[in-house]
Amino acid sequence: MAEVRVASVSEFGARSARRVDADGHRVAVVRIDDAWYAIGDRCSHAEASLSEGEIDGAACTIECPKHGATFSLTTGEPRTLPATKPVPVYGVRVEGDDVIVEIP
């Protein structure tokens, strides 16, 4: 497993997402207050960038900006149609100001 520093904590707002490239993987890193998530950035339905979608902190989901499918930030499973296939999830942690994603 590779651990890749992808960003600084200071680059994120309290409820924000951004796309990063981690060891050849396109990843959406999401911050919801003090919780951090990392999932595949490509919607499994239409290849849109999930990091550009709406974050629902209460439901712990992110919405595809293209067709509105939502994905669980913890499992990568789609919660709404039109997506039917999950996206990958990655381990993520913060060390000081460094955001680190674990790539299998």
Distance CA 91, CA 28 (A): 12
pLDDT at 39 over 90: yes
pLDDT band at 36 (very low <50, low <70, confident <90, very high): very high
pLDDT band at 3 (very low <50, low <70, confident <90, very high): very high
Q: What does pLDDT average to over the chain?
A: 96
pLDDT at 1 over 90: no
CB 48 within 8 A of CB 64: yes
User: So what's the architecture of 2-103 in CATH?
Assistant: 3-layer Sandwich (2.102)
Give pLDDT tens digits for 42-89.
999 988 999 999 999 999 999 999 999 999 999 999 999 999 999 999
User: pLDDT at position 92, please?
Assistant: 98
Q: How many CB atoms lie within 10 A of CB 15?
A: 12
Q: Which of 39, 37, 22, 33 is nearest to 89 (CA)?
A: 39
Q: What is the pTM of this model?
A: 0.95
- At residue 89, what is the residue type? V
pLDDT at 12 over 90: yes
Distance CA 69, CA 46 (A): 10
Distance CA 72, CA 79 (A): 7
